[in-house]
Chains A and B, each alone.
Chain A
Amino acid sequence: MNLDPKIPAGELADKWTEFRSKMDLVAPNNKRKLEVIVVGTGLAGASAAATLGELGYKVKAFTFHDSPRRAHSIAAQGGINAAKNYQNDGDSVYRLFYDTIKGGDYRSREANVHRLAEVSRDIIDQCVAQGVPFAREYGGLLANRSFGGVQVSRTFYARGQTGQQLLIGAYQALSRQISSGKVQMYNRHEMLDLVKVDGKARGIIARNLVSGKLERFAGHCVVLATGGYGNVYYLSTNAMNSNVSAAWKAVKKGALMANPCYVQIHPTCIPESGEYQSKLTLMSESLRNDGRVWVPKSKEDAEAIRTGKKTALDIPEADRDYYLERRYPAFGNLVPRDVASRAAKIECDAGKGIVKTGRGVFLDFGAAVIRYGKIAANTQNISNPSDAKISELGRATIKEKYGNLFQIYEKITGQDPYVFPMKIYPAVHYTMGGLWVDYNLETNVPGLFALGEANFSDHGANRLGASALMQGLADGYFVIPYTIGQFLSKEIRTPAISTDLPEFEQAESETRAKLEQLLKIGGAQSVESFHRRLGRIMWEYCGMSRNEQGLAKALQMIRELREEFWNDVFVPGEIHDYNPELEKALRVADFIELGEVMVRDAMARDESCGGHFREEYQTEDGEAMRRDDEYTYVAAWSWNDGNPEVYKEDLHFENVELKTRSYK
Chain B
Amino acid sequence: MNLTLKIWRQKGPSAAGSFEEHKVHAEEDMSFLEMLDVLNEQLVHEKKEPVAFEHDCREGICGTCNMVINGHPHGPQRGTTTCQLHMRHYNDGDTIVIEPFRASSFPVIKDLVIDRSAFDNIIQAGGYISVNTGQAPDGNAIPVEKQDASQAFDAATCIGCGACVAACPNGSAMLFTSAKVSHLALLPQGEVENGKRVYDMVNQMDKEGFGRCSNITACEAECPKEISVDNIARMNRLYVKSVFAGTQGNEKN
Q: Interface residues, chain A, CB within 8 Å of chain B?
A: 47, 50-51, 54, 65-72, 74-75, 84, 86, 122, 124-131, 133-142, 158-159, 161, 164-165, 168, 171-173, 175-176, 178-179, 185, 187, 210, 239-241, 273-274, 276-279, 281-282, 408, 411-414, 477-478, 481, 526-529, 570, 572-573, 577-578, 580-581
Tell yes or no: B245 within 8 A of A by CB: no
Interface string of B151-165 (1 = CB under 8 A from A): 011001101100000
Interchain CA distance A278-B86 in the complex, whole Å: 13
Interchain CA distance A171-B128 in the complex, whole Å: 9
Say yes or no: A72 contacts B41, CB within 8 Å.
Answer: no
Using A125-B139, A131-B189 as known contacts, say yes or no to A75 and B59 having CB atoms under 8 A apart: yes
Say yes or no: A131 contacts B190, CB within 8 Å.
Answer: yes
Using A70-B62, A276-B27, A278-B31 as known contacts, say yes or no to A131 and B187 having CB atoms under 8 A apart: yes
Neighbour of A129 across the interface among B31, B136, B183, CB < 8 A: B136
Tell yes or no: B80 within 8 A of A by CB: yes
Measured between beta carbons, the chain A residues less than 8 angstroms from B116 are 66-67
Neighbour of A176 across the interface among B38, B63, B130, CB < 8 A: B130
Say yes or no: A477 contacts B133, CB within 8 Å.
Answer: yes
A575 to B: closest C-beta gap in Å: 14
Tell yes or no: B184 within 8 A of A by CB: yes
- Name the CB-closest residue of A to B120: A67
Most A C-beta atoms less than 10 A away, residue of B77, B117, B119, B129? B129
Using A122-B134, A140-B144 as known contacts, say yes or no to A128 and B64 having CB atoms under 8 A apart: no
A304 to B: closest C-beta gap in Å: 20
Say yes or no: B187 contacts A125, CB within 8 Å.
Answer: no
Interchain CA distance A572-B49 in the complex, whole Å: 6
Please provide the 4 A-B residue pairs with the shortest distance between their CB atoms, ordered closest to farther. A140-B143, A129-B136, A172-B128, A125-B136
Interchain CA distance A50-B184 in the complex, whole Å: 19
Using A69-B160, A142-B140 as known contacts, say yes or no to A175 and B57 having CB atoms under 8 A apart: no
Measured between beta carbons, the chain B residues less than 8 angstroms from A577 are 110
Measured between beta carbons, the chain A residues less than 8 angstroms from B132 are 51, 54
Neighbour of B133 across the interface among A54, A178, A274, A413, CB < 8 A: A54
Interchain CA distance A84-B63 in the complex, whole Å: 32
Using A136-B144, A165-B156 as known contacts, say yes or no to A70 and B139 having CB atoms under 8 A apart: no
Say yes or no: B86 contacts A412, CB within 8 Å.
Answer: yes
Say yes or no: A171 contacts B34, CB within 8 Å.
Answer: no
A180 to B: closest C-beta gap in Å: 9
Tell yes or no: B54 within 8 A of A by CB: yes
- Interface size for B (C-beta < 8 A) is 76
Say yes or no: A276 contacts B156, CB within 8 Å.
Answer: no
Interchain CA distance A477-B135 in the complex, whole Å: 12
Measured between beta carbons, the chain B residues less than 8 angstroms from A126 are 131, 133-134, 136
- Name the CB-closest residue of B to A524: B45
Query: How many pairs, one residue from A and one from B, have CB atoms within 8 Å of each other in the complex?
Result: 209
Using A276-B38, A572-B49 as known contacts, say yes or no to A51 and B133 having CB atoms under 8 A apart: yes
Q: List 5 A-B contacts (CB under 8 A).
A: A68-B120, A175-B123, A185-B120, A276-B27, A570-B44
Say yes or no: A210 contacts B109, CB within 8 Å.
Answer: yes
Say yes or no: B127 contacts A133, CB within 8 Å.
Answer: no
Measured between beta carbons, the chain B residues less than 8 angstroms from A67 are 116-117, 119-120, 160
Say yes or no: B145 contacts A140, CB within 8 Å.
Answer: yes
Interchain CA distance A201-B152 in the complex, whole Å: 43
Tell yes or no: B113 within 8 A of A by CB: yes
B152 to A: closest C-beta gap in Å: 5
Further 6 A-B residue pairs, CB within 8 A, beyond A66-B116, A130-B131, A173-B133: A125-B136, A126-B136, A131-B183, A140-B144, A158-B153, A526-B41
Interchain CA distance A138-B143 in the complex, whole Å: 10
Say yes or no: A279 contacts B58, CB within 8 Å.
Answer: yes
B209 to A: closest C-beta gap in Å: 18
Interface string of B20-36 (1 = CB under 8 A from A): 00000001111101100
A171 to B: closest C-beta gap in Å: 7
A410 to B: closest C-beta gap in Å: 10
Using A67-B120, A141-B140 as known contacts, say yes or no to A240 and B56 having CB atoms under 8 A apart: yes
Say yes or no: B109 contacts A578, CB within 8 Å.
Answer: yes
Neighbour of A130 across the interface among B33, B50, B189, CB < 8 A: B189
B232 to A: closest C-beta gap in Å: 19
Measured between beta carbons, the chain B residues less than 8 angstroms from A276 are 27, 30, 34, 37-38
B242 to A: closest C-beta gap in Å: 18
Q: Interface residues, chain B, CB within 8 Å of chain A?
A: 27-31, 33-34, 37-38, 41, 44-45, 47-50, 52, 54-64, 77, 80, 84, 86, 88, 109-110, 113, 115-117, 119-120, 123-125, 127-140, 142-146, 149-150, 152-153, 156-157, 159-160, 183-184, 187, 189-190
Measured between beta carbons, the chain A residues less than 8 angstroms from B140 are 86, 141-142
B37 to A: closest C-beta gap in Å: 6
Using A67-B120, A179-B125 as known contacts, say yes or no to A133 and B37 having CB atoms under 8 A apart: no
Most A C-beta atoms less than 10 A away, residue of B44, B61, B145, B190? B61
Say yes or no: B157 contacts A164, CB within 8 Å.
Answer: yes
Interchain CA distance A241-B57 in the complex, whole Å: 8
Say yes or no: B184 contacts A131, CB within 8 Å.
Answer: yes
Most A C-beta atoms less than 10 A away, residue of B55, B143, B153, B190? B153
Measured between beta carbons, the chain B residues less than 8 angstroms from A526 are 41, 44-45
Interchain CA distance A488-B154 in the complex, whole Å: 42
Most B C-beta atoms less than 10 A away, residue of A122, A176, A282, A573? A176
Say yes or no: A74 contacts B61, CB within 8 Å.
Answer: yes
B249 to A: closest C-beta gap in Å: 15
Neighbour of A128 across the interface among B45, B63, B119, B136, CB < 8 A: B136
Measured between beta carbons, the chain B residues less than 8 angstroms from A279 are 58
Using A124-B139, A278-B31 as known contacts, say yes or no to A137 and B123 having CB atoms under 8 A apart: no
Say yes or no: B117 contacts A281, CB within 8 Å.
Answer: no
A533 to B: closest C-beta gap in Å: 14
A61 to B: closest C-beta gap in Å: 12
Using A131-B184, A526-B44, A572-B47 as known contacts, say yes or no to A136 and B58 having CB atoms under 8 A apart: no
- Name the CB-closest residue of B to A124: B139
Measured between beta carbons, the chain A residues less than 8 angstroms from B80 are 411
A474 to B: closest C-beta gap in Å: 12
Say yes or no: A274 contacts B27, CB within 8 Å.
Answer: yes
Interchain CA distance A161-B137 in the complex, whole Å: 24
A652 to B: closest C-beta gap in Å: 31
- Name the CB-closest residue of A to B63: A70
Measured between beta carbons, the chain A residues less than 8 angstroms from B152 are 131, 133
Measured between beta carbons, the chain A residues less than 8 angstroms from B127 are 172, 175
Measured between beta carbons, the chain A residues less than 8 angstroms from B34 are 276-278
Neighbour of A528 across the interface among B37, B49, B63, B183, CB < 8 A: B37
Say yes or no: B142 contacts A128, CB within 8 Å.
Answer: yes
Say yes or no: A175 contacts B58, CB within 8 Å.
Answer: no
B3 to A: closest C-beta gap in Å: 14
Measured between beta carbons, the chain B residues less than 8 angstroms from A159 are 153
Interchain CA distance A307-B197 in the complex, whole Å: 59
Say yes or no: A131 contacts B149, CB within 8 Å.
Answer: no
Measured between beta carbons, the chain A residues less than 8 angstroms from B28 are 414
Say yes or no: A414 contacts B86, CB within 8 Å.
Answer: yes
Interchain CA distance A383-B206 in the complex, whole Å: 62
Using A74-B62, A172-B127, A526-B45 as known contacts, say yes or no to A578 and B110 having CB atoms under 8 A apart: yes
Say yes or no: B123 contacts A129, CB within 8 Å.
Answer: no
A144 to B: closest C-beta gap in Å: 11
B136 to A: closest C-beta gap in Å: 4
A342 to B: closest C-beta gap in Å: 25
Interchain CA distance A228-B207 in the complex, whole Å: 38
Using A276-B37, A277-B34 as known contacts, say yes or no to A168 and B156 having CB atoms under 8 A apart: yes
A357 to B: closest C-beta gap in Å: 12
Say yes or no: B184 contacts A65, CB within 8 Å.
Answer: no
Measured between beta carbons, the chain B residues less than 8 angstroms from A580 are 50, 52
Measured between beta carbons, the chain B residues less than 8 angstroms from A142 are 139-140
- Name the CB-closest residue of B to A173: B128
Measured between beta carbons, the chain B residues less than 8 angstroms from A140 are 143-146
Measured between beta carbons, the chain A residues less than 8 angstroms from B110 are 577-578
A242 to B: closest C-beta gap in Å: 8
A500 to B: closest C-beta gap in Å: 29
